[in-house]
Amino acid sequence: MSYNFLKSYYLCSRMKKRIFFILLSVCFATQFVVAQKPNTIHKGISVWTVTDKTASAVPAVIDTSLFGFQNTDPMNNYSIANSYNGALGSPLQSKIYFDRTEKTDFLFSRPYDAYFTSVSDILFYNTKSPYSNLTYYSNGATTTKDDDFKGLITLNLNKRFNFAILFNYAGAKGLYNSQMTRQVKSGIWASYSGKHYGLTGAIMYQAFNNEENGGITNPAYISNKDSMGNYSTDEIPTKLTTSTSKYTNKYIYLNQKFHLATVKRAIDSTHFEYRPIATISHTFKYEEAQKRYKSTGSDSSFYAHTYFNGKETQDSVRFRSLRNSVAFSVNEGFARWFPLSIVGYVEHDYRQYYYLNDSTPVNASENDILFGAEMSKRKGKNFLFNANGEVYTVGPKSGDFKLDGGISSSFRLLSNTVYLNANGSIKRTSPSYFENTYVSNHFIWNNDFDKTMKSHVDAKLGLHNKWIDVNVGAGVENVSKLIYFNSEALPAQYDGNIQVLSGNAKLDFNLGILHLQNKAIYQKTSDADILPLPELSTYNNLFVAFKMFKVLTTQIGTDMYYNTAYYAPNYMPATGVFYLQDKEKLGDFPVMSAYLSFHLSTARFFFKYYHYNASFSAQNYFSMPDYPLYPQRFKMGISWNLFD
């Protein structure tokens, strides 16, 4: 291990020295500022997210957490256990069933959900002074490093109008051949809150590019290096060498609110505000997404079928959506005796699909009309809830519906804070267009799937004080007529019911400078042949935390990710989907890292030696069949919040 450690250090020492001096400059320049308390909103800044259809505000916070910054990359933020290709920014699926998302209606966008910023992910601000954040992560030597840079700035032009600008670039050169990834996310969003008029708008462009190598040709290059000749990672052959995928998404979102009446409410003895009684709003959203798969050489030996061209592949599939909705609401808090919000809305959704049948373009379109209603209480602490119902009445989705809701509350019990929440939903959904119909160079399918029915319920109870933070929860979901991708990477439908039972527990406690953080998720699926899941996934973090020079919070620790063995999914480069395999169980290995992390005023930074046990543990660290994780390497990161 010492030889690999010194070799990695030597290869990236020049870059590390530059970063180190930058960090020192930041530290000395800001030592006079008192460290900020964790998970609090800075004075003069309010933050919220919005619901997609009605732009209802949901309170949020700026991330200024004192602990855990070394694991705030997009993948670890998404889930504690993931299947992916090994590199930052590669297509990803959570191993935790209840963490999986579908942020758009486009089938081929799902592998990028961990990195994708939807409308409901955007943080909207109101600031008394400009606020900005600069975040940078890097790891590996110069020729194989991963980089992730994010810059955000937001400011108010007046007390009612705010806008924000985001730029995010992430890229991995890759440790193995044909593993490069690149991501660009840029956007601008704004909000205006007036006495009679309100606006929330966003324009986003997101592009995700990745080379496709199909995995290494033989797992023994990792699991039994001596028998294969002990190749370096860039010498290990891969199944594909000239294939690339690109997913792009751009959307425009605009919600306008027209307040019909307002009332004057006192804030204190000298201040008051106008609160709207009723509101009419209009929401417009245009979205365009495209998935491309290209291979400039023959890749037919990798695929079971090649339909049109054996020398090169140029697949392209596109999705467009135009949504307009009108809502009428009676607003929460206009009177003390009416602490609720009631909203009714109707939405028209026009969708267009495009793909190539050989060299012939194919276009199709769908129209749907949706009616919905929502009741919620989102202000305060003691008791919050929301309940929503939607039904499609016209179009291909006619008969689809969704009922969901949740409650949450927190209260003081002696010196403790007790919090609880519960959620439930039932929904009936039609298969997406591309689950039924698709044509490409390597895959053709034409299905007539039934609607899927899902019912879900979960609950969580927690307790927090200055020594301990503990919560336990459980959830269960029943799925009827599940659509999945079978062992041939083709969509199929299970003619029956599948249940998933999940239990989770979190225990964080400290004893002086010693801290221990633990998270465990247990999952049980009623049919592991159709929906395989690891039964247990855990995260453990042991560290000491103390202050140096009275202002520099210092953490020294080691953490570990682990999940039990199961039939992890295969990944199909041509479509980007994750599909079933029953040949090889993967998992049952820890990924252990050691780190130094610092918090000084509004700056956080860390140094991390990732996966240090790779050199002396069993060499079975595969995320998916033939896709190994990175072995040991250095990581570092810095995040700086500027509030002036």
Whether residue 558 contacts residue 33, with contact meaning beta carbons closer than 8 Å, is answered with no
Q: Fold for domain 2-642?
A: Maltoporin; Chain A (2.40.170)
For residues 10 and 602, the model is more confident at 602
* Residue 260, CA distances (Å) to 44, 198, 281 in order: 29, 12, 10
pLDDT at 40: 36
Percentage of residues of the chain with pLDDT beyond 70: 91
Calpha distance 394→364 (Å, rounded): 17
Q: What is the mean pLDDT of residues 459-488?
A: 95
Calpha distance 263→274 (Å, rounded): 5
Q: pLDDT tens-digit profile of 287-300?
A: 999 999 999 999 99
Calpha distance 442→180 (Å, rounded): 23
- Residue 15 — very low, low, confident or very high, per pLDDT cuts 50/70/90? very low
For residues 559 and 358, the model is more confident at 559
Q: What is the mean pLDDT of residues 21-36?
A: 33
Residue ranges per structural domain of the chain:
2-642
pLDDT at 273: 67
Q: Exposed, middle or buried, 300 (CB in 10 Å: 0-12/13-18/19+)?
A: middle
Does the pLDDT of residue 510 top 80, yes or no?
Answer: yes
Q: Phi/psi class of residue 551: alpha, beta or left (left: φ > 0; alpha: ψ in -120 to 50)?
A: alpha
Whether residue 554 contacts residue 545, with contact meaning beta carbons closer than 8 Å, is answered with yes
Calpha distance 284→360 (Å, rounded): 32
Q: pLDDT tens-digit profile of 73-99?
A: 899 999 999 999 989 999 999 999 999
